[in-house]
């Protein structure tokens, strides 16, 4: 390729001159091509260790001028053919022109300008992303593709110098991290080491430090472990590895390939030797942390963050922290955890202004909201730029009530109709209007929380519990007065303290919406729930059938769900969510959680809380394989081993942890604990996240440690834990007691003592409150690799068991074929942008039929595996076999069809192989063009030989054996030799007709069984 002219030294002992003329020199790198000896080996080793471009481009062309000692490199090539083409172009187009110039300086200027012009012309056709990448990085990407034989669709993310430990010997080389592969290359004194690992094959990724492997990264697959060390910055490398492995696991789980996020903000400056993909992944990681910290929606993208201080009027002090700005929110997090968090939606902002600076308050910015709250940020490094960015986002914020905006010294957005930041509890909105569209007007519908409806007519309670509840409400009202109310409320340690003491029932729905982030999503999607209900109601699917089956199992002990109002509300919410997210649809345990949400919220509010739970707070919990719950089950086992090591060993022997934890996590203890107690855990969960559930689960095990250590079997341990949880009580509840069915069945003659739920929560914070969310996320990543790979192994075994009776391949062969087939499918999800993964992957089908490949992929596998490889005719034969196997004519075949085709070729007897070969010369194996030429050949042979008149293998004639015998009887005067000849032809025809009959559609005599739910 042409290079931007650069000065080089000719007196280098590492290059050999091959061609020359008065103006140009063509050189070859020592050690490449013919010979080389020890010097060539040494040069090759230096090129690898020092990452020299000569490793990928061992030829170059230099510009020389007269007696000058200055030379300019103008072209390089990876092979002799490429560099020769450049040399011939120079001789043809430049030599005559250069001979006209009088001095060397003019020659150099002319050639440099010409080469730069060629490069500029080539760059015009390159994609924008490639233009973003530096020249050094593009060179590394080219080297990666050449060394490992990767297609152009495989994108390099980053590369690092490191050592790969092979047989306890370190091999210095280069680690290339691509979207789908981890690759390593080393060349030391003639010994070449090449390693390629697919990210989808990684089962464990660990960063550790041992005596043998100092500060290394261990990459484990199903078969082996690989150790890499001597990184310049091991933490950055390991984080990138984690991201790429996570993308691969998501690919296995959802069958979605990696796509660059075009909506991410562009970096202010391009970093040298860092690819656009690496910047993309770094931005994604920051976005995920930002969204998780402030419970924001998946489409929120962080624009930037800066250090600052926030004036807190309740504490009369400036709090040091960071200010975050994204497309819809301004957020603040204090440096000291739990000191102060703040979320300001841009839809609530009315004024942004630059206040006067002073020595006490440098570079302040004041932000006012529609509900008359003002926030003062100071110590901002680039105040003008920050205000301009907020102004840009405000102008793009959709709000029909806003008038035109103006920004001079201040930005004012008059809020003529400021929408309240609190959820409305009164009837109305899309929720109430849509309910009448699908149900009889007289049918009651839940326009408020069901608990409020059923307690509306109850007499006022003036007892001590009611007094305690009133005191809680008053404490929250004081908190709202000091810290604000709604989405812009200051969230501090005081807020957490009030949550741990229990949220009053009258405020529970409002605060759940606030802490979970569902309030923001509901406010930005008015009418969305009503539209969903309208679209979903009346439709029948597997999800709706399962919902109907579980409706009456959802808190049947609570009177709110003993009538049609509660059941109908639950049906609408679950059906609307199944319609919104068909990937999840409906999963058992969603009904229990949703029924609790409906007790305190309207239908629309309950729907958005369910969205927050399923899509953000409990990721992947409620998909078909409950992957998220299995991941957290693994995290819980790891936490138990770290915090309660003695109990962990005993529980592992009994196999109890994996049994109990799934039901605890899936329903947030709602199914195993009395309702009035479990709902307090839900309060804490919406504020703190999943760490509260882990803390309480560990506290339950700790409280029962002595009894559990004395257990001899799983059943006894389950009984102890079940009876303990049944007797966790809330002595402060003002609601009528809700009977807990499990407690009634297991109470026995001598029930254990009651446990106060507030004491349980308090002890969980005292003993295990040091758990951090970021540590839990790190543990989740580690467990996600194990869980998904375990599920993939289970799926593989299921496929092999299902097909082994129909195939002659061994179990080991079928497993290897399945891995190859799946790898082809997964690679195509990224390498072939023209076809989406959804077209070739249907999770509702049995595992045997889920993955599918097209003709191009099948041809590659056929060429590598098929025993009937026949040179230039192999693609034709592969295409015919593909069309034969593609029974539904959708251009795709599944694994079962793939194995059926290979099995006949490998393990069929001669008759079966002939039969398959015969079918490859009939439609549908033949394409229309081939069928036409075959028909012409058939007519030709029919005219030449009367004996073949019945052998039209394109349209086989139906001739019964009786008719043949009759015809034979009429010709009884023929000789014996002629009879034998005729009999042989009959036998041949018989097989052809028999095979042709198999292609006829057969009548179904047995009713197909309905598909089972996977």
Q: What CA–CA distance (Å, rounded) separates 447 from 603? A: 7
Q: Kindly state the helix (H) or strand (E) to which residue 531 belongs, with its residue range.
A: helix 528-536
Q: What CA–CA distance (Å, rounded) separates 239 from 501? A: 38
Report how far Cα 582 is from the mean position of its chain's Cα atoms.
Answer: 16
- Check residue 18 and give its pLDDT: 81
**Burial tier of 718 (Cβ tally within 10 Å: 0-12, 13-18, 19+):** middle
Q: Kindly state the helix (H) or strand (E) to which residue 746 belongs, with its residue range.
A: helix 741-746
- DSSP code for 617: I
Q: Could you tell me if 871 and 819 are in contact, meaning their C-beta atoms sit under 8 angstroms apart?
A: no
Could you count the other beta carbons within 10 Å of the beta carbon of residue 546?
Answer: 19
602-654 pLDDT, tens digit each: 999 999 999 999 999 998 898 888 899 999 999 999 999 999 999 999 988 88
The two structure tokens encoding residue 858: 């099948």
**Burial tier of 695 (Cβ tally within 10 Å: 0-12, 13-18, 19+):** buried
- Check residue 886 and give its pLDDT: 86
Could you count the other beta carbons within 10 Å of the beta carbon of residue 734?
Answer: 19
- Check residue 418 and give its pLDDT: 32
Helix (H, G, I), strand (E, B) or coil at 624: coil
Helix and strand totals (H; E) in the chain: 40, 25
The two structure tokens encoding residue 556: 């049947």
- Check residue 739 and give its pLDDT: 59
Helix (H, G, I), strand (E, B) or coil at 197: strand
Helix (H, G, I), strand (E, B) or coil at 728: strand
- Check residue 863 and give its pLDDT: 85
Q: What CA–CA distance (Å, rounded) separates 64 from 24? A: 6
Q: Which residue has the tokens 């539209």?
A: 531
* CB proximity list for 180: less than 8 A, separation 6 or greater: 154, 198, 199, 200, 248, 826, 827, 830
Measure the CA dihedral 513/517/518/522, to 10°.
110
* DSSP per-residue codes, 162-182: EEEEETTEEEEEEEEEESSEE
Residues of the chain with pLDDT under 70: 9-13, 31-57, 67, 123-135, 189, 210-214, 255-274, 399-447, 455-462, 736-751, 829-847, 930-1014
Q: Could you tell me if 328 and 400 are in contact, meaning their C-beta atoms sit under 8 angstroms apart?
A: no
- Check residue 187 and give its pLDDT: 81
892-942 pLDDT, tens digit each: 888 888 888 888 888 888 888 888 888 888 777 787 776 666 565 555 544
- Check residue 121 and give its pLDDT: 73
Q: Could you tell me if 249 and 263 are in contact, meaning their C-beta atoms sit under 8 angstroms apart?
A: no
Q: What CA–CA distance (Å, rounded) separates 602 from 432? A: 10
Long-range contacts of 189-198 (CB under 8 A, 24+ apart): 189/41, 189/42, 189/45, 190/41, 190/44, 193/164, 193/166, 194/147, 194/148, 195/164, 195/226, 196/148, 197/221, 197/226, 198/248, 198/823
Q: Kindly state the helix (H) or strand (E) to which residue 893 belongs, with its residue range.
A: strand 893-894
Q: Kindly state the helix (H) or strand (E) to which residue 452 belongs, with its residue range.
A: helix 450-455
Q: Terminal CA-to-CA distance of the chain, rounded, Å? A: 54
* DSSP per-residue codes, 570-604: HHHHHHHHHHH-TTT---TTHHHHHHHHHHHS-HH
Helix (H, G, I), strand (E, B) or coil at 3: strand
Q: Could you tell me if 174 and 217 are in contact, meaning their C-beta atoms sit under 8 angstroms apart?
A: no
Q: Verify cis geometry, omega within 30 degrees of 0, for the bond prior to 950.
A: no
Measure the CA dihedral 613/618/619/623, to 10°.
-80
325-381 pLDDT, tens digit each: 999 999 999 999 889 999 999 999 999 999 888 888 889 999 999 988 999 999 998
Burial 118-141 (b: 16+ CB within 10 A, else e): beeeeeeeeeeeeebbeeebbbbb
Report how far Cα 41 is from the mean position of its chain's Cα atoms.
Answer: 44
Could you count the other beta carbons within 10 Å of the beta carbon of residue 6?
Answer: 10
The two structure tokens encoding residue 590: 């969603």
Maximum Cα interatomic distance, the chain, rounded to a whole number of Å: 127
Instruction: Tell me which residue of 598, 587, 500 sits closest to 546, measured CA to CA.
Output: 587
The two structure tokens encoding residue 749: 């003659």
Measure the CA dihedral 574/575/576/578, to 10°.
90
Could you give the C-alpha distances from 779 to 299, 636, 971, 998, 1012, in angstroms and in order? 25, 9, 86, 56, 34
Q: What CA–CA distance (Å, rounded) separates 145 from 288? A: 31
Q: Could you tell me if 184 and 199 are in contact, meaning their C-beta atoms sit under 8 angstroms apart?
A: no
- Check residue 590 and give its pLDDT: 93
Residues in the chain: 1014
**Burial tier of 628 (Cβ tally within 10 Å: 0-12, 13-18, 19+):** buried
* φ, ψ (nearest 5 deg) of residue 375: -120, 130
CA atoms within 13 A on the CB side of 594: 33
Q: Could you tell me if 167 and 225 are in contact, meaning their C-beta atoms sit under 8 angstroms apart?
A: no
The two structure tokens encoding residue 132: 């973003």
* CB proximity list for 125: less than 8 A, separation 6 or greater: none
**Burial tier of 578 (Cβ tally within 10 Å: 0-12, 13-18, 19+):** buried
Could you count the other beta carbons within 10 Å of the beta carbon of residue 562?
Answer: 13
Q: What CA–CA distance (Å, rounded) separates 513 from 601? A: 9
Q: What CA–CA distance (Å, rounded) separates 1001 from 18? A: 69
Q: What CA–CA distance (Å, rounded) separates 701 from 541? A: 41
Report how far Cα 158 is from the mean position of its chain's Cα atoms.
Answer: 20
Q: Is the dihedral of CA 973, 976, 978, 984 positive or negative?
A: positive
- Check residue 48 and give its pLDDT: 54
**Burial tier of 336 (Cβ tally within 10 Å: 0-12, 13-18, 19+):** exposed
* CB proximity list for 504: less than 8 A, separation 6 or greater: 469, 472, 473, 476
- Check residue 822 and give its pLDDT: 84
Q: Could you tell me if 29 and 40 are in contact, meaning their C-beta atoms sit under 8 angstroms apart?
A: no
Q: Could you tell me if 105 and 31 are in contact, meaning their C-beta atoms sit under 8 angstroms apart?
A: no
* CB proximity list for 174: less than 8 A, separation 6 or greater: 48, 51, 159, 160, 161, 162, 184, 185, 186
Q: Which residue has the tokens 């006894």?
A: 716
Could you give the C-alpha distances from 488 to 376, 422, 472, 721, 738, in angstroms and in order? 13, 10, 21, 41, 35
Instruction: Tell me which residue of 778, 720, 790, 798 sits closest to 752, measured CA to CA.
Output: 720
* CB proximity list for 22: less than 8 A, separation 6 or greater: 64
């Amino acid at each position: 390729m042409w290079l931007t002219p650069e000065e080089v030294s000719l007196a280098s002992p590492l290059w050999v001159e091959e061609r020359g003329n008065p103006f140009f020199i063509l050189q070859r790198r020592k050690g490449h091509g013919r010979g080389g000896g020890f010097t060539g080996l040494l040069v090759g080793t230096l090129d690898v260790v020092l990452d020299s471009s000569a490793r990928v481009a061992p030829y170059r062309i230099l510009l020389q001028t007269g007696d000058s000692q200055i030379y300019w490199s103008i072209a390089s090539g990876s092979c002799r053919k490429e560099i020769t083409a450049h040399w011939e172009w120079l001789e043809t187009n430049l030599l005559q022109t250069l001979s006209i110039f009088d001095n060397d300086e003019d020659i150099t200027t002319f050639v440099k300008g010409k080469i730069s012009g060629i490069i500029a012309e080539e760059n015009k056709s390159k994609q924008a992303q490639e233009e973003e990448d530096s020249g050094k990085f593009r060179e590394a990407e080219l080297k990666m593709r050449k060394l490992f034989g990767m297609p152009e669709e495989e994108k390099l993310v980053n590369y690092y110098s490191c050592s790969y430990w092979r047989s306890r010997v370190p091999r210095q080389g280069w680690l290339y991290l691509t979207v789908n592969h981890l690759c390593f290359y080393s060349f030391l004194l003639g010994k070449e080491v090449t390693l390629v690992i697919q990210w989808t094959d990684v089962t464990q990724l660990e960063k550790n430090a041992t005596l043998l492997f100092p500060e290394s990264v261990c990459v484990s697959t199903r078969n082996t472990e690989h150790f890499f060390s001597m990184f310049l910055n091991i933490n950055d490398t390991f984080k990138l590895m984690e991201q790429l492995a996570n993308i691969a696991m998501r690919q296995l789980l959802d069958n979605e390939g990696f796509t660059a996020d075009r909506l991410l903000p562009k970096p202010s400056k391009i970093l040298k030797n860092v690819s656009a993909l690496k910047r993309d992944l770094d931005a994604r990681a920051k976005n995920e942390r930002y969204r998780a910290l402030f419970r924001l929606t998946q489409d929120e993208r962080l624009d930037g963050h800066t250090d600052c201080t926030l004036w807190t009027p309740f504490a009369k002090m400036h709090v040091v922290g960071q200010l975050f700005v994204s497309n819809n929110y301004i957020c603040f997090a204090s440096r000291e955890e739990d000191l102060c968090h703040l979320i300001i939606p841009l839809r609530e902002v009315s004024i942004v202004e630059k206040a006067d600076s002073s020595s006490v308050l440098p570079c302040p910015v004041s932000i006012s909201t529609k509900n008359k709250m003002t926030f003062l940020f100071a110590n901002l490094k680039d105040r003008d730029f920050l205000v301009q960015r907020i102004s840009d986002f405000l102008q793009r914020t959709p709000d029909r009530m806003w008038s035109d905006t103006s920004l001079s010294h201040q930005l004012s957005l008059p809020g003529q109709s400021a929408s309240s930041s609190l959820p409305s509890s009164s009837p109305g909105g899309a929720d109430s209007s849509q309910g009448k569209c699908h149900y009889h007007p007289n049918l009651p519908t839940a326009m408020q929380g069901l608990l409020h409806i059923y307690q509306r007519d109850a007499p006022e309670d003036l007892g001590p519990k009611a007094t305690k509840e009133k005191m809680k409400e008053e404490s929250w009202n004081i908190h709202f007065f000091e810290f604000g109310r709604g989405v812009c409320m200051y969230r501090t340690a005081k807020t957490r303290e009030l949550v741990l003491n229990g949220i009053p029932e009258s405020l529970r729905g409002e605060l759940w919406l606030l802490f979970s982030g569902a309030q923001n999503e509901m406010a930005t999607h008015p009418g969305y729930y009503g539209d969903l209900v309208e679209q979903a109601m009346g439709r029948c699917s597997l999800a709706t059938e399962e919902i109907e089956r579980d409706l009456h199992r959802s808190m049947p002990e609570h009177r709110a769900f003993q009538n049609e109002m509660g059941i109908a509300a639950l049906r609408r919410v679950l059906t609307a969510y199944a319609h919104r997210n068909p990937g999840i649809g409906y999963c058992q345990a969603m009904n229990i959680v949703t029924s609790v949400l409906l007790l305190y919220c309207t239908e629309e509010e309950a729907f958005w809380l369910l969205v927050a739970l399923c899509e953000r707070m409990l990721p992947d919990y409620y998909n078909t394989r409950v992957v998220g719950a299995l991941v957290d089950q693994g995290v819980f086992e790891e936490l138990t081993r770290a915090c309660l090591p003695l109990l962990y060993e005993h529980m592992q022997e009994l196999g109890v942890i994996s049994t109990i934890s799934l039901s605890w996590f899936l329903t947030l203890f709602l199914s195993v604990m009395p309702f009035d107690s479990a709902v307090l855990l839900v309060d804490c969960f919406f504020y703190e996240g999943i760490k509260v559930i882990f803390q309480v689960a560990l506290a339950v095990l700790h409280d029962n440690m002595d009894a559990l250590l004395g257990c001899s079997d799983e059943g006894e341990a389950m009984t102890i834990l079940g009876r303990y949880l049944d007797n966790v009580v809330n002595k402060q509840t003002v609601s009528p007691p809700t009977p807990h069915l499990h407690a009634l069945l297991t109470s026995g003659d001598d029930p254990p003592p009651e446990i106060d739920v507030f004491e349980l929560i308090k002890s969980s914070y005292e003993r295990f409150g040091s758990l951090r969310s970021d540590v839990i996320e790190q543990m989740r990543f580690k467990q996600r690799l194990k869980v998904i790979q375990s599920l993939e192994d289970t799926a593989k075994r299921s496929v092999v068991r299902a097909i082994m009776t129909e195939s002659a391949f061994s179990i080991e062969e079928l497993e290897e074929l399945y891995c190859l087939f799946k790898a082809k499918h997964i690679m195509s999800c990224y390498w072939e942008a023209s076809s989406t993964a959804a077209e070739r992957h249907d999770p509702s089908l049995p595992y045997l039929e889920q993955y599918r490949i097209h003709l191009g992929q099948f041809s590659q596998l056929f060429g590598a595996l098929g025993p009937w490889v026949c040179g230039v005719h192999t693609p034709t034969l592969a295409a015919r076999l593909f069309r034969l196997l593609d029974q539904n004519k959708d251009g795709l075949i599944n694994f079962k069809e793939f194995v059926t085709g290979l099995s006949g070729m490998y393990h069929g007897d001669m008759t079966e192989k002939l039969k398959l070969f015969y079918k490859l010369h009939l439609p549908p194996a033949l394409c229309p063009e081939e069928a036409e030429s075959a028909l012409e050949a058939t007519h030709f042979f029919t005219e030449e030989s009367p004996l073949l008149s019945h052998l039209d293998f394109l349209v086989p004639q139906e001739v019964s054996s009786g008719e043949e015998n009759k015809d034979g009887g009429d010709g009884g005067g023929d000789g014996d030799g002629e009879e034998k000849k005729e009999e042989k032809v009959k036998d041949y025809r018989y097989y052809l007709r028999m095979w042709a009959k198999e292609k006829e559609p057969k009548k179904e005599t047995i009713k197909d069984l309905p598909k089972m739910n996977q």
